[in-house]
Structure 1
Amino acid sequence: MGALLLALVFVASLAGFCALSLAMDRHSEDVFGRGSTPGPWRRWLQLGGAALLCVSLGASLQAAGSGIGWVLWLGALTVAALATVGLLGYAPRRFHWIASAAAAVALLGLLACLLLAA
């Protein structure tokens, strides 16, 4: 269960940062083409990104406790932010597919953690 939680920390952080970056006009244009903005999806992307970062925090605190969990979470945020920047810079056309896959894996991991804890 510990390895599943650690994977969930990173994947949820990555999916959260991807959602937050797609909520910005500039990054949305980089990924979907010129003139493309998130429009009505902006608020949902922001809420989803924030929720995924909260899931990441919860998994981090559950995996490592309240002392080390915060440090683990900040490290995962750093790595996920660097991965998001790298994806936007080097693979912008594949960005939304990777972001969708990360979100799906994060939600499946959360479901698995909840089922294993019960």
Structure 2
Amino acid sequence: MPANDPVQYQTFANMNDSEEWARALVGSVQVDRENRVVVVAGTCPRCDDVFEQEIRNDDITIEAVAAGATADNSRPRDKWRGPMRFTVACLCRVEHPGRPSGTKGGCGAAAIMRDGGAVGG
């Protein structure tokens, strides 16, 4: 396949591929706690296309129970104070063959990350 042909759209079949992709992307992730946003901007390690993603409150998961929180999670916690998880996905604008209709963009690569690092990696 010529170097400028887009890669086939494909999600990762196993967690190892996802973690490897995330580790390659770590330097492109900026967690801005003051402005409450995670920004991912760079080149996708899988398709080599440029993309940018902003991740905000609804897409952030608290990594661990914060001090003072109840076991049933009834007390609200500030998810921007402690460790957090979020999903990063390639959202490039290149038309990758096989991408399902209605998909925002990207080549199918995605991973769960923790404060700029791969979960489990």
More helix by share: 1
TM-score by length of 2: 0.28
Instruction: Tell me the TM-score normalized by structure 1.
Output: 0.28
Larger radius of gyration: 2
